[in-house]
Structure 1
Amino acid sequence: MSEIKRVDTGTRMSQAVIHNGTIYLAGQVGTPGESVATQTKDILKKIDALLEQNGSDKTRILQATIWLADMKDFAEMNEVWDAWVAPGHAPARACGESALATPDYTVEIIVIAAAG
């Protein structure tokens, strides 16, 4: 059997799980109550750090799932996202609307990446 590595594991979840050269990140959220743009920037910094910590980077993201509390914020989130994505390395992506953990969260992003 191949090894499963769990990173920053708590009672409920791990921030990352690595298996067979693939890194699965938990849903990342930003600072509650901040703007959609600020929360998105916070999330992308967390994603960068988790990927770097595990030997990867944003150019190796395979898939991203983005949840918005309200689709009216789609353009604001995309402005930050588009500036962050490495040219030529856009992952497969889905974006939908969902109630998040609390009303203070407006964005949650989940990514799957190839290890470096």
Structure 2
Amino acid sequence: MEIKRYKTSHRWSVATVHNGVAYITGQTAKDTSSNLYEQTKQTLEKIDEILADLGSDKSKILMATIYLQDVTKFQEMNKAWDEWVAEGAAPARACIEGAANNPAELVEIIVTAAVD
């Protein structure tokens, strides 16, 4: 049984791959001064980069969990998500309100994806 860890630190790995499945830890925007729509776009770009490094892409996402600082702004996040999600490959998804460690982080996204 092989487990691959990607960008590992003492505390966590950005991703862990086992049995053809990548488990990607919560990703947030680089620029937390921007609005929820922009932070979501930045976060999804980071996920694209991680998936590419792991030999996968957004069309292979199995599940996404999205945490929002303020769930009443759900539509801003959804706008960015809808522009990004692969046509015909929408994953199972949950979106809930949750406080981030950094109050400037308006969105955090965790994904599980198939890898080749």
TM over 0.5: yes
Which residue in the other structure is 1:35 paired with? 35
Instruction: Using structure 2 for the length normalisation, give the TM-score.
Output: 0.97
**TM-score, normalization by structure 1:** 0.97
User: 1:12, CA displacement in angstroms?
Assistant: 1.3
Partner of 2:51: 51
Where does the alignment leave 5 or more consecutive residues of structure 1 unmatched? Answer: none
Gap regions ≥5 residues in structure 2: none
Tell me the SS of whatever aligns to 2:44: helix
* CA distance in structure 2 between the aligned counterparts of 1:27 and 1:12, rounded to whole angstroms: 14
1:38 aligned partner, one-letter code: E
2:95 counterpart of 1:95: yes
The 10-residue stretch of structure 1 (10-19 or 61-70) with the greater mean CA deviation from structure 2? 10-19
Q: Which amino acid aligns with 1:100?
A: A
Q: Which whole-Å deviations, capped at 9, do the CAs of 1:93-113 have from their partners, x for residues lacking one? A: 000001111110000000000
Q: Distance in 2 between matches of 1:112 and 1:13?
A: 16
Amino acid of the residue matched to residue 27 of structure 1?
Answer: G
Matches within 5 A, 1:1-116: 2-30=1-29, 31-116=31-116
Sequence identity of aligned pairs in percent?
51
* Structure 1 runs, 4 residues or longer, greater than 4 Å off: none
Query: 1:33 deviation in Å?
Result: 2.5
How far did residue 24 of structure 1 move? Answer: 0.4
Aligned residue pairs total: 115
Amino acid at match of 1:26: T
One-letter amino acid of the structure 2 residue matched with residue 72 of structure 1? T
Alpha-carbon distance in structure 1 between the residues aligned to 2:6 and 2:86: 25
